[in-house]
Amino acid sequence: MDLRVSAGLSANSRDAATKGLAGTYFSVSVRDTEKLVGMGRIIGDGGCFFQVVDIAVHPDYQRRGIGFKIMGRLMEQLRDNAPKSAYVSLIADGAASKLYEKFGFEQTAPVSVGMALRL
């Protein structure tokens, strides 16, 4: 929860985080000794649809290739285990789209447009 906030992502309640983490398909954590400095997760139904979420690197550790390595491990997991017909999506904030393009992600507009509802 602290890493999300320090990396500029939205805060979640402990209850929401606990429930959300239980639905993780695959995750990557990067630590400097005991300190969590990077993370990323895949959520989804395990067959048709997957979403890459919670890609975060602590500001003190950014620009060292950690985000690239996290994405690389997540993509390796998907390529090795997800069905070849799976649809993998993500929401890219700002310049993060440049990172995701390196792994083959493309903007979907104008064919489709991402939509969201924050409760």
Domain boundaries along the sequence of the chain:
2-100
More confident residue, 24 or 93: 24
62 closest CA partner among 99, 12, 26, 106: 99
* Band of residue 118 on the pLDDT scale cut at 50, 70, 90: confident
Task: Evaluate if residue 35 carries a pLDDT over 90.
Answer: yes
Share of the chain above pLDDT 90, in %: 87
The model's pLDDT over 40-50, given as tens digits with 9 standing for 90+, comes to 999 999 999 99
Burial of 69 (0-12, 13-18, 19+ CB in 10 A): middle
* Band of residue 95 on the pLDDT scale cut at 50, 70, 90: confident
Read off the pTM. Answer: 0.91
Out of 3.90.1150.10, 3.40.190.10, 1.10.3720.10, 3.40.630.30, which CATH number does the structure's domain 2-100 have?
3.40.630.30
